[in-house]
């Protein structure tokens, strides 16, 4: 989650997020490619579970239902790539939408992430016209291949979504 446009330091910023939440954390990704670097970062931390849900709300719902039947994390985060629908969001910008009561807004802002709104998509919008139409219809800042339903979101903008 480090890029030229901000100063995110993944290990330090992850520690701040974990400090804000003392229980177990479930981090959901829609696809394996989104999770790879994060899984390497947290491999030794037993408090963090990574779940690959598949693309779309239906897949996310089914994956979460199965996971939550066995475990109850104190925090769920949807993470991964999102397609910027607002021209001011450049590739690599870390954006988030988080509930105030989680206590995560301050550490995310301090880490250089920016608040944003997301629109759930079941398929990738690959053309500029599709992205313009999504922005116009949803008024969202980014489109995401949603990995959770009704949970907090942390996304990194990727122009391919």
| Local mean pLDDT, 10-residue blocks, the chain (161 residues) | 41 58 81 91 88 86 90 86 85 86 86 88 79 88 67 40 34
Residue 3: inside a domain: no
**74-92 as b/e, with b when 16 or more CB fall inside 10 Å?**
ebbbbbbbbbbbbeebeeb
Residue 87: inside a domain: yes
Residue 34: inside a domain: yes
- Give pLDDT, residue 127: 83
Please, where are the H alpha helices in 47-127?
57-68, 105-110
- Give pLDDT, residue 148: 53
Residue 60: inside a domain: yes
Whole-model pTM: value is 0.70
The count of structural domains within the chain is: 1
What CATH number is given to the structural domain containing 129? 3.40.50.1580
Its domain, for residue 19, covers 10-157
- Give pLDDT, residue 161: 34
The answer to whether the beta carbons of residues 60 and 148 sit under 8 Å apart is: yes
Residue 24: inside a domain: yes
Residue 134: inside a domain: yes
- Give pLDDT, residue 66: 92
Residue 1: inside a domain: no
**Any idea what the Cα angle at residue 152 is, between residues 122 and 30, rounded to 5°?**
35
CA distance 87 to 30: 24
- Give pLDDT, residue 156: 42
Q: What are phi and psi of 79, to 5 degrees?
A: -130, 160
């Amino acid at each position: 989650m480090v890029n030229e446009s901000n100063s995110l330091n993944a290990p330090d910023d992850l520690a701040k997020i974990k400090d804000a939440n003392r229980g177990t954390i479930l981090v959901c990704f829609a696809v394996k490619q989104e999770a790879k670097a994060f899984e390497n970062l947290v491999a030794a931390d037993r408090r963090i579970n990574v779940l690959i849900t598949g693309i779309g709300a239906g897949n996310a719902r089914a994956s979460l239902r199965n996971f939550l039947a066995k475990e109850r994390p104190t925090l769920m985060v949807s993470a991964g790539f999102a397609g910027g629908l607002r021209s001011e969001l450049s590739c690599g910008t870390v954006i988030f939408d988080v509930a105030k009561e989680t206590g995560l807004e301050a550490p995310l802002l301090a880490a250089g992430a920016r608040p944003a709104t997301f629109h759930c998509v079941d398929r990738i919008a690959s053309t500029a016209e599709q992205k313009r139409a999504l922005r116009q219809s949803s008024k969202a800042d980014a489109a995401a291949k949603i990995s959770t339903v009704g949970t907090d979101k942390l996304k990194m903008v990727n122009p391919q979504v």
